[in-house]
Structure 1
Amino acid sequence: MMTKTTVMLIEDDIRASYTLESTINQHPDFTVVAASESCADALLHYEAYKPSLIFVDITLPDGNGIDVIRQLREQHADCDFIMTTAERETATVEKAVQLGVADYLVKPIRMSRVNQALEDYKQYKQTLSRATTVDQNDIDQLFRKAPVKQLRQTPKGIDATTLASLKSILRNEKLHDFSADDIGERMNVSRITARRYLEFLESEGMIRLVLNYKTGGRPRRLYQMVE
């Protein structure tokens, strides 16, 4: 059985941290072992848990996530980093690239984008572990320079006709804060099927996921149209 990649979160927004942790833990190959809300906590938690991958927010109560990465790099920490931030300035992105972050996720983060980052990281580590040397094609893939493969119009499990029907419903009914159950009833499909199509549209940027915490328990997954 493959050992899961250990992950640490550095995020001072409790809701964002919970959502990110929940998404990562749903992936079969990753597990969150620690969550920090400040730079100081992050450095202590790293020493305690030695995670392989760290999701880092930039704006923190006691400093800057970029500085946390720099300090851990100087300590020769054996881990990789993914930025999760609302910062879009090129200077900030450039600093992150210079520090060798594996990915850069802009808030509000789509959960489908988190899963993509995890899959990319998994592929990156698998490529490095397969052999002691790599060829040019392997290197191109690691640096994302490989030619983009021609993709199907819709991925496996997404029927083009059903997808078009869903898009029509969303545009014509102008739904707001709708769930997979709502869509399932309108399309006469199961909640699981409806959720698969909604997650696809989320990855395409047509809708966004919002979590309703006013449930008294686990947050309810709702969706909104992106204007």
Structure 2
Amino acid sequence: MIRVLLVDDEALTLELHRSYVERLDGFRVVAECSGARAAIAAILDRDADEAIDLVLLDMTMPDGTGLDVLRHVRARAADVDVIAITGVRDADVVRQVVGLGAAQYLVKPFSFATFRERMEQYAAYRRQARDAEGDATQAEIDALLGALRPAAPALLPKGLSADTLERVSAEVRGGGPLSATETADRLGMSRVAARRYLEHLADVGRVERAARYGKAGRPESEYRWQGRAPRT
């Protein structure tokens, strides 16, 4: 379980990010801070068996900046990873954050789909780093560095939207297996449209399609979330 510290001076943002993390497998929020000093203390003053693994770090706070937090924890050689989550787009700030070893730089506002993608990339990076022992090969190093790079966005078939695809995906992930009719009823869309999105998810390997029996007449397809990497 990856232990997460949330750092942001806005209570509503902390609540939103907490809800996002709680929807992910393998992550758990163990502390929240609304200021730079509190964040530094939360990172440095914990016992080894309760150490923070990942900080979701805002850049602007009343008593300091995310850069201040990063500089302090790096100076103390704290073994903690950081993903900057901020509205700051200044290129010099981005350069400094990356130079201080941040794993990702995520600009607000963003969708849950984007957040999930970055967190899953980070989890893959940790798994690869954990599995690499001794002298790494060039291929292992390339894979480790590549794990944190955002994937190129997949092209959707004509007529499908990314936002609706995310809604359908979330519905199947949280309440599946579902038929096209059930999905349409839950999301307030036509059965034909729901089926197009579900079939696309099946085609790229996100859901598993199976026949549902038990009623008279033709069997109906149902879709169960798989969550594996999409086929290319």
| Structure 1 moving runs of 4+ over 6 Å | 145-152, 180-183
CA contact (8 A) 2:122 2:147 kept: no
Is 2:207 aligned against 1:187? no
CA contact (8 A) 1:58 1:64 kept: yes
CA contact (8 A) 2:121 2:148 kept: no
Q: Could you say which residue in structure 2 is the equivalent of 1:59?
A: 60
What SS is found at the alignment partner of 2:25?
A: coil
CA contact (8 A) 1:17 1:35 kept: yes
- 1:39 partner letter: A
- 1:140 partner letter: D
Cα gap change, 1:182 to 1:151, in 2 (>3 Å): same
Q: Could you say which residue in structure 1 is the equivalent of 2:3?
A: 6
TM-score (norm 2): 0.64
**Unpaired stretches in structure 2, ≥5 consecutive residues:** 165-182, 201-232
Q: Could you say which residue in structure 1 is the equivalent of 2:216?
A: none
Q: Which has the larger radius of gyration?
A: 2
- 2:189 partner letter: R
Give the one of 16, 19, 22 matched to 2:16.
19
Is 2:29 aligned against 1:32? yes
CA contact (8 A) 1:86 1:106 kept: yes
Is 2:96 aligned against 1:95? yes
Cα gap change, 1:23 to 1:190, in 2 (>3 Å): farther
Q: Could you say which residue in structure 2 is the equivalent of 1:111?
A: 112
Task: Give the aligned length.
Answer: 174
TM-score (norm 1): 0.66
Cα gap change, 1:74 to 1:22, in 2 (>3 Å): same
**Unpaired stretches in structure 1, ≥5 consecutive residues:** 155-159, 168-179, 198-227
CA contact (8 A) 2:125 2:148 kept: no
Identity of aligned residues (%): 27
Q: Could you say which residue in structure 2 is the equivalent of 1:142?
A: 144
CA contact (8 A) 1:39 1:62 kept: yes
Q: Could you say which residue in structure 2 is the equivalent of 1:81?
A: 82
> Which deviates more, 29-38 or 141-150?
141-150
Q: Could you say which residue in structure 2 is the equivalent of 1:172?
A: none
CA contact (8 A) 2:10 2:34 kept: yes
Q: Deviations over 1:83-109 (max 9, x none)?
A: 011111110110011001000000112
Question: Cα offset for 1:150?
Answer: 9.0
Partner Cα distance (1:21, 1:41) in 2: 18
CA RMSD of aligned residues (A): 3.5
